[in-house]
Amino acid sequence: MADKDTFRVVTRESDGKLRIRDYASDEPIRRRHSQIGIDDCSTDLGLRGMPVFRGLIGPIPEGANVVRYESPEVFESITKEWGTAAAGRRRSRAARS
């Protein structure tokens, strides 16, 4: 299992565009956000022990070596988009006459 070596923070700018910042360590995030715990229950074992920050959703796995944190607003909007896209692809199992 590869170690997570990129810390990604995704927020939204005032014009609505996503702002994605990558860091080589969690230190820049620690300077801006208070750590309130550690992840101890992720099904992605590479995330266990990663910090949990006040004001950010995460850690979230993204690829083999990226740990992602999102602002609550970004998390909510991306989750809604994902749910809408998944619901649109469903097919009925009932036979059509």
Reference 2, options 81, 67, 51, 60; nearest CA is 67
- 54 contacts: CB under 8 Å, gap ≥ 6: 33, 34, 35, 36
pLDDT, tens digit (0-9, with 9 covering 90-100), for 7-45: 999 999 999 999 999 999 999 999 999 999 999 999 999
User: Residue 68 pLDDT > 80, yes or no?
Assistant: yes
Q: State yes or no: pLDDT of 1 exceeds 60.
A: no
The proportion of the chain whose per-residue pLDDT surpasses 90, expressed as a percent, equals: 69
In the structure encoding, which two tokens stand for residue 42, read together?
């992720």
Establish whether the linkage from the previous residue to 59 is cis, with ω within 30° of 0.
Answer: yes
Domain boundaries, the chain: 6-86
pLDDT score, position 32: 96
Alpha helices in the chain (DSSP H): 27-32, 72-88
Amino acid at 68: R
Question: What value does the mean pLDDT take over residues 74-97?
Answer: 74
